[in-house]
Amino acid sequence: MILPIVQYGHPILRQRCKPVTEIDDSLQQLVGDMLETMVDANGVGLAAPQVGVDLRLAVVDVSHDPECISYLRVNGEDADLDSIMPLIFINPELEFGEEKESGPEGCLSIRGIRSEVRRPLDVKATLPQLDGSTLVVETDGLLARAIQHETDHLNGVLFTDRLPAAIKVAMRNRLKKLAQEFGES
């Protein structure tokens, strides 16, 4: 089922989500609905708070662009992107490389706004899975960016928070208008 995507200004987008402590049928259903919603919205990631759910759960799928990364290691072994897509994870923990790069970002919860965001180029993500296993994913490129972006959502952080002050000021009125459009302040 395609779920409504919460928009900028909704308070759930600003809160740190609760850890997932139980994996049951309703959580499995939510994951399926989130994947369907993400695909329907032409997104590469979706976090639970974006569909109004206060849980540390996210989905990512960048398999449409296998060239979007230069390397991928899963649990210390070289891996193919298709072997982990779609990537579903709960309660993530991230470690970042030293080097940073700017890249374009948008958000399904902030319609019509895109900007260059500076983030760590490499990420090492410890990603608990729904089956009780844990994936340790080391990567770069769009996958690293998507994992960071979705994990930010779980911490109440939006990509617009990571923009330089001058860009934030220039964007302020557009964001205010979006918040008013969706009935939240």
- Give the domain CATH number at 35: 3.90.45.10
- Residue 149 marked as a ligand binder: yes
pTM of this structure: 0.95
Residue 181 a catalytic site member: no
In this predicted structure, what is the pLDDT of residue 181?
80
pLDDT, one tens digit per residue, over 21-63 is: 999 999 999 999 999 999 999 999 999 999 999 999 999 999 9
Under 8 Å CB-to-CB from 48, ≥6 apart: which residues? 17, 30, 34, 54, 55, 56, 57, 58, 154
Residue 28 belongs to a domain: yes
Q: Look up the domain containing 176 and give its range.
A: 11-181
pLDDT, one tens digit per residue, over 148-178 is: 999 999 999 999 999 999 998 999 899 988 8
Residue 5 belongs to a domain: no
- Residue 64 marked as a ligand binder: no
Determine the 3-state secondary structure of 13 from DSSP.
helix
- Residue 107 marked as a ligand binder: yes
Q: Which of 67, 99, 150, 181 is catalytic?
A: 150
Label the pairing between strands 134-139 and 100-107: unpaired
